[in-house]
Structure 1
């Protein structure tokens, strides 16, 4: 993948990560209301996928294989489709993009039926990850998978170090343009079997485990 294509995604991710990590070591827990809202927010479903630069889509036109193409979303946010030309794709859902192409094709073919399938999710390479940092054996960044929990991330990092302040861990979650700090009781999860704060993870979450103060 070219540096030109990666640049917009990398810069956007860097800005998000800087925002989330700034002050993580000392940021207090968010208000109970914000924490409840963050925990109750549902992660985006596949139908809610928003296209962005470096994504690859398969555009299929029923009974018109010559018009069906697999194309990347360019850095300017557009794709090129036979007959239609350039179409805005970035910021659109696949079904909305399909409807837009159908509208444009109506002047060329009768009752076009278009489907758009995302075959490459390059624009979400960084934002759809989860991370654990701080007093763990191996700080880790992995692709988000449905059903992942706080405990899964700690185990995938090799566990906490002997200097970890386990019950002072924080889960940082982006929500509505801000970052919500959610307390996580890792000692209770790991050593007491209390899984109340073993939260399900969402794309973009960062779990931070601080060291004890001596």
Structure 2
């Protein structure tokens, strides 16, 4: 079952999760259709239809108040928060019978609008926002409702916060990591790739799911290459200078690859210049260095032999508006 749901996360767009065929269909306040589970528990903001067989004057459409109650004719205020539709039918039938209003009451309760059980899916997912749950769901199912992870931006973990009450307001900041109590960090690789079911937690109203954006490390290749610009370092594994040159489309015919230069900034922001002979590297005569974050690789040639250093003086500002290329994961 979990494997099937994980596969849903790869489908572009939201996934509507349904229940058994005998469950009643209803809508949320935004007009979207949902499937009502018998286990759904009422809360503030929900709208219900109450009907009593052969007693039309007791038929009502009612909204659950902020205090979690409804007001019925002849019965007054009735606490309904936390009850299922079936439990409310039994409660109303008992009160009608005890009051002597109806000898053998047959009560039906239909949930017209689901509004009391919102969950918030934020961060690097395809469709972040607020979702109303109408049935018991797990983390993977809720991620599927939000269209799945954004494969480019999503980090390798997510945060899950139980806020304690379904009526909690939406988080104000949708980009910062969650703070406070009841925040749990969940490894997405273990959850989605390895299928560790103990991480697939049950979700209830008021919960917040946040997928952070993974930090992006860049390097730059300029000069006489076919595709100069900014490039993304791989998340895993090292990237070598020769591989960086290949990602930039390789050298142009006029390039002087024996006179390359690596510009690297230390932890204090000081620039260091290292001569790089790509001809020797490709022949195995010199070691192929590992590219680091914010490195600038310069390949001189007939077009850039005089203005190359001018470009280096403005890196990374000069290339910040160029196309950003992503390095594949696990590059070697």
- What TM-score comes out, normalization by structure 1 length? 0.56
Question: Matches of 2:122 and 2:140 in 1, distance apart?
Answer: 13
Give matches, 1:40-55, under 5 Å: 46=38, 49-50=41-42, 52=44, 55=47
In structure 2, the CA distance between the partners of 1:47 and 1:146, relative to structure 1 (3 Å rule), is closer
46 and 183 in structure 1: CA distance in 2 versus 1, 3 angstrom threshold: same
Q: d(CA) in 1 for partners of 2:120 and 2:43?
A: 23
The answer on 1:102 being equivalent to 2:92 is no
Residues 142/186 of structure 1: CA separation in 2 closer, same or farther (3 Å cut): same
Change (3 A) 1:58 1:179: farther
Q: Distance in 1 between matches of 2:39 and 2:97?
A: 19
Q: TM-score, normalised by structure 2?
A: 0.39
Correspondence for 1:119: 110
Cα offset for 1:129? 3.2
- Paired residue for 1:166, among 133, 153, 156? 156
1:143 corresponds to which of 105, 125, 132: 132
Cα distance, 1:207–1:145 mapped onto 2, change above 3 Å: same
- Work out the CA distance in 2 between the residues paired with 1:155 and 1:56: 28
Equivalences for residues 13-162 of structure 1 within 5 A: 46=38, 49-50=41-42, 52=44, 55-61=47-53, 64-73=54-63, 77-81=69-73, 84=74, 87-91=76-80, 93=83, 94=88, 95-104=90-99, 106=100, 112-122=103-113, 124-125=114-115, 127-146=116-135, 148-156=137-145, 157-162=147-152
1:155 is paired with a residue of what secondary structure?
helix
How far 1:72 moved relative to its partner?
1.9
Q: What 5-or-longer segments of structure 2 have no aligned partner?
A: 1-28, 30-36, 169-179, 217-332
Structure with more helix by fraction: 1
- 2:110 aligns to what SS in structure 1? strand
Provide the residue aligned with 1:17 in structure 2.
none
Is 1:189 equivalent to 2:191 in the alignment?
yes
SS of 1:207's partner is: strand
Q: 1:197 to 1:48 in 2, by over 3 A?
A: closer
Taking the aligned partners of 1:116 and 1:101, their CA distance within structure 2 comes to: 9
Distance in 2 of aligned mates of 1:198 and 1:206: 14
Deviation of 1:184 (Å): 1.5
CA RMSD of aligned residues (A): 3.7
Q: 1 CA distance for matches of 2:40 and 2:195?
A: 35
SS, match of residue 130 in structure 1: strand
Higher-Rg structure is 2
Cα distance in 2 between the residues matched to 1:73 and 1:136: 33
Partners of 1:135 and 1:153 lie apart in 2 by 14
Deviation at 1:50, TM superposition (A): 4.0
Matches of 1:97 and 1:155, distance apart in 2: 37
